[in-house]
């Protein structure tokens, strides 16, 4: 077996190659640029290496120079004064991306231009960056996608879904995640031994790529207990091509996660091994050229063949593969249906994570708006002898290297067709700016609404319920129309893509909806229920446009009747639809604030959710949105209906409801008609219901009020409210269930005093034990309370669109950055790395805003400590704060008598004013007396509040 390479020799070879290439090809600059802003993970670095081509391989341009049938890149002359779509390519080193950008007629922006329409990054993109994007921008990664692109995360999430739906999740080889599953693996090995069965296992680094660090074992008992590896059953009877093992690189485009749209590209790569396949045996398990099909591995074999004709070479096209199968009388259509089905089921596992993360980054954006993220994923799939497809892994940064002509042909049209499906328009930017302006004015003239329910007469209530019904129908109509437009666009522009989700096959789509519901229940616990209606509306809506128009007409007839016969005839119109959302962007409110669903188990789910005050806040907001839903909707500009319209014009992000209606700005009433697509119906009624509050605004607009004057008024008001927010934040405390604020304070201090003891435990609890959803829940305790407080201070239910909340969102996202590392870094006394999120930002952050962010970080830190302590106590009821080392501290804790304490005014009268949270602002000296320091601390905070207020 002279052409076999051992594992170690291969990895060292690759290392040399990448180093050489870096020096030889001088494209390192581009790589460095991108890696400075987004430090790449080991996986990304390794993906990156493939691009530095060995000298003998010429890039595509050379081939085209020799008269090949490559597409000619027409450089369009730039007409003076005419705007073009710009693309920021500083984060990519792939020439083919640049070429396709030019082919599309886009212009390449300067490296430091953050305002480009299109941003292409080879590496992972931080949630901060996604939060900062304007609605007209597009970036080629989704947040949260790591949940299926890291091998261990994919295995973990897949296993959870397999437990829930074993018949649907049976397309990945059995997998164990090390070190956690090591004993399970050993038990399995023993069982095999007892049954005298032999199986081969493949061991892969969790975050590896390009075949690095992979090894095969014939006996699972010999697999070492290593960290960060996964072990998989080896598929030992693969389908062979000319006697070689192969895998398929299949490209999938996701254009939106809210709602989910998945497209499958009709070509891809077949990557062959370079040594003829033999069933695994002790004598050949080290033959990586036989068992691994990675191009990055096999290109080093002297037998690697370049693709010169369609049916030769170690890399071939999927088109060729399909022909090959057809010639062997294999049902190719069926095989691809199965593959597409498998891809959809895999991405349904990702959807709850991606949607949650996306909504965190883009709060307040109504479902169905243009997505700022898209992603081209590379699926690695193997086919066994029974023609069954197996998922090996998903790459979020598949290589767009074009070493061979075949690569260029496939990847260039993949990228070009992806760009077309993104539907980027020059006018998007203008609309966004207009919308921002309109939103600023709208907020300035927002009046204090009268929400006193006593004044609401029975007549008003009846009218409110009718209006609500009509609003629901109009919102649904807007969605149906928008969806139809989108589908029409996709059909005309899909090129070589085929949409695989949502499926056109009704039965299949029903099945996908069920899988999606399960995925939400599995990954987002109780929140899954609140997603059901969304799934129904987005993916399984049974109402057609005509039906909805009829229903709206009936509602209007009811309205006329009720005017003619007040208190008389019963309404004829349809009852509220169970399947409908109450308002377009109702999700963020339910989705993030529904703390009911937050578990509170010893597993580490947040105890903050049990806080009485939180329940109070939730109840308040719930009653606000239900019993007073209408009065708000009609009187407030922040009501449900208006939230959709205000979302046209979110400052800084200018959320859009529909590209046709983005121009935003308060519309004159006469303008609101049912024409246009999205929001056609919705806008009309919104404008009507909003008439009372916007009178002032429209009057002023008519008289051409000076923009600068308006802006300065808006600014002043915002500054004042920001200061109030800071005061309120300083008053917040994290609540420990069953303990008083003072006891919670004491616990926090004990944790800090015994930091050396607790540090490794808290680190392991936060960074290892809690999964991403639970980590998010911890941060969400603070987030949801901050939201409630903002709603109160800013007198708006539409706080998602507040500049201040968007700033806070970036801080929250930063804290969750890198699997919670962001928050953990904040515990280092010298580190305030989160503040760097603002250093590169184009936004100016005021002192009060920065102080508010600091306070939020402090609250999150406290929240983590309380959650940790709570979980610890739940697990070991006898566990005590200072651990074994601090008996005295614990004794103190047990003899708390808070009722005997004197709290200086003004807090004695309002100890829990915002007390759904409790926190610590000022650290006491190590040997402090909890009673006196507590009082002192409170008075100091109060003084501080006065100053800032």
CA 485 to chain CA mean position, Å: 25
Segment contacting ligand ADP by CB under 6 A, of 229-237, 326-334, 452-460, 802-810 = 229-237
The stretch among 287-295, 493-501, 612-620, 852-860 that binds ligand ADP (CB under 6 A) is 287-295
Instruction: Give yes or no for a contact between 753 and 889, defined as CB atoms under 8 angstroms apart.
Output: yes
Beta strand pairing status for 118-121 and 86-91? parallel
Report d(CA 670, CA 662) in Å as an integer: 18
Find out whether 753 and 925 touch, Cβ atoms under 8 Å. no
What is the smallest separation between the CB atom of 238 and ligand ADP, expressed in angstroms? 7
Contact 304, 288 (CB under 8 A): no
| DSSP annotation of 797 | S
How near is the Cβ of 208 to ligand ADP at its closest, in Å? 5
Closest approach of ligand ADP to the CB of residue 210, in Å: 5
Q: Minimum CB separation from ligand ADP for residue 584, in Å?
A: 41
Between CA 718 and CA 715 the distance in angstroms is 5
Residue (238 or 641) nearer to ligand ADP, CB: 238
User: Which span (291-299, 530-538, 606-614, 635-643) binds ligand ADP, by CB under 6 A?
Assistant: 291-299
Give, as ranges, the residues between 358 and 397 that touch ligand ADP (CB under 6 A).
380, 392-393
Size of the site for ligand ADP (CB under 6 A): 19
The least CB distance from residue 151 to ligand ADP, in Å, is 7
Q: How far is the CB of 395 from ligand ADP (least distance, A)?
A: 7
User: Any idea what DSSP says for residue 544?
Assistant: -
Closer to ligand ADP by Cβ: residue 10 or 918: 10
Answer yes or no whether residue 14 interacts with ligand ADP by CB under 6 A.
no
Nearest approach, Cβ of 43 to ligand ADP (angstroms)?
8
List the end-to-end C-alpha distance of the chain, in Å, as a whole number.
78
- Shortest reach from residue 201's CB to ligand ADP, in Å: 8
Closer to ligand ADP by Cβ: residue 52 or 805: 52
Whichever of 124 and 512 has its CB closer to ligand ADP, that residue is: 124
Q: Minimum Å distance from CB 209 to ligand ADP?
A: 4
Q: Does 247 bind ligand ADP (CB under 6 A)?
A: yes
Residue closer to ligand ADP, measured from CB, 245 or 690: 245
Residues 894-913, interacting with ligand ADP (CB under 6 A): none
Residue in the structure block whose two tokens are 């890399």: 315
Query: 14 vs 439, which CB is nearer to ligand ADP?
Result: 14
Structure token digits, residue 400: 């767009």
**Closest to 916 measured CA to CA, from 675, 680, 608:** 608
Whether 647 contacts 801, CB under 8 Å: yes
User: Of 44, 206, 293, 945, which one interacts with ligand ADP (CB under 6 A)?
Assistant: 293
Binding mask 691-730 for ligand ADP (x = CB under 6 A): ----------------------------------------
| Structural Rg of the chain based on CA atoms | 30
- For 81-146, the DSSP string reads T----EEEEEE---HHHHHHHHHTT-EEPPTT-TT-SEEEESS---HHHHHH--TT-EES--TTTH
Comparing CA positions, the residue from 797, 655, 125, 783 lying closest to residue 367 is 655
> Which residues, other chains included, contact 453 with Cβ-Cβ below 8 Å and sequence gap of 6+?
627, 628, 631
Cα–Cα dist 604/736, whole Å: 13
| Gap between the Cα atoms of 217 and 229, Å rounded | 14
Least separation in angstroms between CB 220 and ligand ADP: 13
234 touches ligand ADP (CB under 6 A) = yes
CA dihedral 161→165→166→169, nearest 10 degrees, is: -60
Which of helix, strand or coil describes residue 177? strand
Angle at 403 between CA 397 and CA 404, to 5 degrees: 115
- In the complex with ligand ADP, the residue whose CB is nearer, 199 or 937, is 199
229 φ, ψ (degrees, to nearest 5):
-130, 155
Q: How far apart are CA 744 and CA 734, in angstroms?
A: 8
Span interacting with ligand ADP, options 231-239, 625-633, 772-780, 936-944, rule CB under 6 A: 231-239
Residues 220/246, Cβ–Cβ less than 8 Å: no
Q: Is the peptide bond before 179 cis (omega within 30 degrees of 0)?
A: yes
Segment lying near ligand ADP (by CB under 6 A), choices 289-297, 466-474, 807-815, 931-939 = 289-297
Q: Compose the 855-894 pattern: x for residues touching ligand ADP by CB under 6 A, - for all others.
A: ----------------------------------------
Q: Could you tell me the smallest distance in angstroms from the CB atom of residue 47 to ligand ADP?
A: 9
- Closest C-alpha among 717, 792, 691 to residue 451: 792
Q: What tokens were used for 71? A: 């597409």
Quote the least distance from Cβ 337 to ligand ADP, whole Å: 23
Stretch (H or E) spanning 268: strand 260-272
706: left (phi over 0), alpha (psi -120 to 50) or beta: beta
Kindly state the helix (H) or strand (E) to which residue 381 belongs, with its residue range: strand 375-383
Beta carbons of 391 and 172 less than 8 angstroms apart: yes
259 upstream amide cis, omega within 30 of 0: yes
Nearer to ligand ADP, 50 or 258 (CB): 50
- Between strands 107-108 and 86-91, the pairing is parallel
* Whole-angstrom distance, CA of residue 340 vs CA of residue 263: 9
For the CB of residue 674, give the shortest distance to ligand ADP in the complex, in Å. 52
139 versus 172: smaller Cβ distance to ligand ADP: 172
Instruction: Kindly write out the interface string for residues 186-215 of this chain, putting x where it contacts ligand ADP by CB under 6 A and - elsewhere.
Output: ----------------x-x---xxxxx-x-
Residue of 31, 89, 118, 292 that binds ligand ADP (CB under 6 A)? 292
Among 40, 71, 114, 173, binds ligand ADP (CB under 6 A): 173
* Least separation in angstroms between CB 421 and ligand ADP: 27
Cβ of residue 235: shortest distance to ligand ADP, in angstroms?
4
Part of the chain binding ligand ADP (CB under 6 A), chosen from 132-140, 227-235, 337-345, 504-512: 227-235
Site string for ligand ADP, 35-54 (x = CB under 6 A): --------------------
Beta strand 86-91 with 260-272 is: unpaired
401 binds ligand ADP (CB under 6 A): no
Which helix (H) or strand (E) is 383 found in, with range? Answer: strand 375-383
Among 87, 154, 235, 357, binds ligand ADP (CB under 6 A): 235
Least Cβ distance, residue 57 to ligand ADP (angstroms): 20
Tell me whether residue 152 or residue 862 sits nearer to ligand ADP (CB atom). 152
Using CB under 6 A as the binding rule, whether residue 921 contacts ligand ADP is answered as no
152 touches ligand ADP by CB under 6 A: no
The residue range among 125-133, 232-240, 453-461, 792-800 that interacts with ligand ADP, by the rule CB under 6 A, is 232-240
β-strands 201-205, 175-178: how paired? unpaired
- In whole angstroms, how close is the CB of 211 to ligand ADP at the nearest point? 5
Compute the distance between CA of residue 815 and CA of residue 828 in angstroms, rounded to an integer. 13
Bridge partner list, 384: 238
CB-nearer residue toward ligand ADP: 42 or 525: 42
Q: In this chain, which of 207, 294, 645, 661 binds ligand ADP, going by CB under 6 A?
A: 294
Q: Footprint of ligand ADP on residues 646-675 (CB under 6 A)?
A: none
Q: Which residues bind ligand ADP (CB under 6 A)?
A: 173, 202, 204, 208-212, 214, 232, 234-235, 247, 292-294, 380, 392-393
């Amino acid at each position: 077996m002279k052409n076999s390479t051992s594992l170690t020799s291969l990895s060292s070879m690759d290392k040399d190659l990448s180093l050489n290439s870096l020096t030889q090809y001088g494209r390192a600059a581009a790589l460095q640029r991108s890696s400075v802003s987004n430090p790449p993970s080991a996986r990304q670095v390794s993906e990156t290496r493939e691009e530095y081509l060995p000298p003998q391989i010429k890039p595509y341009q050379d081939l085209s120079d020799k008269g090949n049938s490559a597409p000619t890149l027409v450089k369009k002359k730039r007409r003076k004064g005419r705007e073009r779509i710009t693309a920021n390519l500083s984060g990519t080193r792939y020439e083919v991306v640049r070429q396709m950008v030019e082919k599309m007629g886009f212009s390449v922006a300067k490296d430091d231009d953050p305002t480009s329409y299109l941003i292409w990054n080879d590496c992972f993109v931080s949630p901060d960056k996604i939060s900062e994007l304007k609605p007209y921008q597009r970036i080629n990664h989704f947040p949260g996608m790591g949940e299926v692109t890291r091998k261990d995360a994919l295995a973990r999430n897949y296993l959870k879904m397999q437990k829930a739906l074993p018949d649907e999740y049976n397309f990945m080889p059995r997998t164990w995640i090390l070190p956690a599953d090591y004993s399970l693996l050993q038990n399995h090995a023993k069982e095999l031994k007892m049954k005298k069965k032999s199986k081969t296992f493949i061991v892969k680094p969790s975050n590896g790529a390009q075949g690095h660090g992979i090894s095969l074992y014939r006996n699972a008992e010999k697999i070492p207990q290593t960290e960060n590896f996964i072990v998989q059953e080896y598929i030992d009877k693969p389908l062979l091509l000319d006697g070689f093992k192969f895998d398929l690189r299949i490209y999938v485009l996701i254009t939106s996660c809210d709602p989910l749209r998945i497209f499958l590209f009709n070509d891809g790569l077949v990557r062959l091994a370079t040594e003829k396949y033999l069933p695994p045996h002790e004598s050949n398990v080290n033959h990586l050229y036989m068992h691994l099909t990675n191009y990055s591995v096999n290109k080093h074999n002297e037998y690697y063949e370049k693709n010169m004709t369609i049916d030769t070479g170690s890399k071939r096209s999927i088109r060729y593969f399909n022909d090959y199968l057809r010639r062997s009388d294999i049902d190719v259509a069926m095989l691809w249906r199965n593959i597409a089905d498998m891809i959809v089921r895999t991405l349904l596992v990702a959807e709850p994570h991606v949607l949650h993360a996306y909504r965190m980054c883009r709060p307040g954006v109504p479902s169905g708006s243009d997505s700022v993220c898209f992603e081209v994923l590379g699926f690695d799939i193997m086919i066994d002898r029974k023609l069954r497809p197996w998922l090996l892994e998903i790459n979020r940064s598949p290589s767009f290297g074009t070493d061979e002509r075949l690569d260029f042909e496939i990847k260039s049209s993949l990228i070009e067709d992806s760009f077309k499906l993104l539907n980027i328009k020059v006018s998007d930017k203008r609309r966004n700016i207009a919308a921002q302006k309109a939103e600023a004015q709208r907020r300035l003239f927002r009046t204090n609404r009268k929400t006193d329910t006593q004044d609401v007469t029975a007549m008003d209530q009846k009218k409110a319920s009718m209006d609500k019904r009509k609003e629901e129908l109009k919102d649904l109509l807007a969605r149906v129309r928008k969806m139809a437009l989108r589908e029409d666009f996709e059909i005309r522009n899909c090129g070589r893509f085929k949409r695989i989700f949502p499926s056109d096959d009704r039965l299949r789509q029903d099945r996908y909806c069920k899988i999606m519901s399960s995925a939400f229940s599995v990954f987002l616990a109780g929140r899954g229920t609140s997603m059901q209606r969304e799934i129904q509306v987005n993916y399984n809506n049974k109402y057609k446009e005509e039906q909805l128009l009829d229903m709206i007409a009936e509602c209007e007839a009811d309205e006329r009747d009720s005017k003619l016969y007040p208190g008389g005839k019963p309404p004829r119109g349809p009852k509220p639809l169970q399947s409908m959302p109450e308002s377009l962007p109702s999700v963020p409110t339910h989705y993030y604030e529904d703390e009911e669903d937050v578990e509170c188990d010893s597993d580490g789910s947040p105890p903050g959710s049990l806080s009485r005050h939180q329940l109070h806040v939730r109840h308040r907001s719930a009653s606000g949105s239900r019993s007073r839903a209408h009065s708000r909707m009609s009187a407030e500009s922040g009501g449900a209906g208006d939230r959709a319209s205000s979302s046209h014009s979110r400052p800084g992000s200018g959320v859009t409801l529909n590209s046709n209606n983005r121009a935003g700005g308060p519309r004159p009433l006469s303008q609101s008609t049912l024409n246009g697509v999205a929001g056609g119906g919705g806008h009309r009624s919104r404008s009507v219901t909003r008439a009372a509050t916007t009178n002032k605004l429209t009057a002023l607009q008519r008289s051409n009020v000076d923009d600068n004057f308006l802006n300065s008024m808006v600014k002043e008001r915002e500054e004042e409210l920001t200061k109030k927010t800071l005061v309120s934040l300083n008053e917040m405390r994290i609540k420990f269930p069953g303990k008083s604020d003072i006891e919670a304070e004491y616990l926090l201090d004990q944790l800090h005093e015994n930091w050396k003891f607790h540090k490794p435990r808290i680190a392991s609890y936060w960074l290892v034990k809690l999964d991403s959803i639970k980590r998010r829940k911890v941060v969400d305790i603070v987030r949801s309370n901050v939201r409630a407080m903002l709603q109160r201070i800013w007198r708006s239910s539409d706080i998602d669109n507040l500049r201040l909340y968007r700033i806070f969102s970036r801080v929250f996202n930063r804290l969750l950055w890198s699997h919670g590392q962001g928050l953990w870094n904040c515990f280092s006394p010298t580190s305030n790395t989160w503040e760097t999120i603002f250093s590169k930002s184009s936004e100016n952050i005021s002192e009060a805003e920065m102080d508010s962010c600091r306070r939020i970080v402090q609250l999150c830190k406290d929240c983590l400590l309380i959650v940790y302590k709570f979980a610890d106590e739940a697990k070991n009821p006898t566990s005590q704060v200072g651990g074994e080392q601090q008996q005295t501290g614990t004794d103190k804790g047990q003899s708390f008598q808070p009722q005997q304490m004197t709290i200086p005014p003004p807090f004695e009268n309002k100890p829990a004013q915002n007390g759904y949270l409790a926190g610590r602002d000022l650290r006491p000296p190590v040997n402090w007396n909890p009673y006196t320091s507590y009082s002192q601390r409170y008075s100091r905070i109060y003084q501080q509040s006065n100053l800032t207020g």
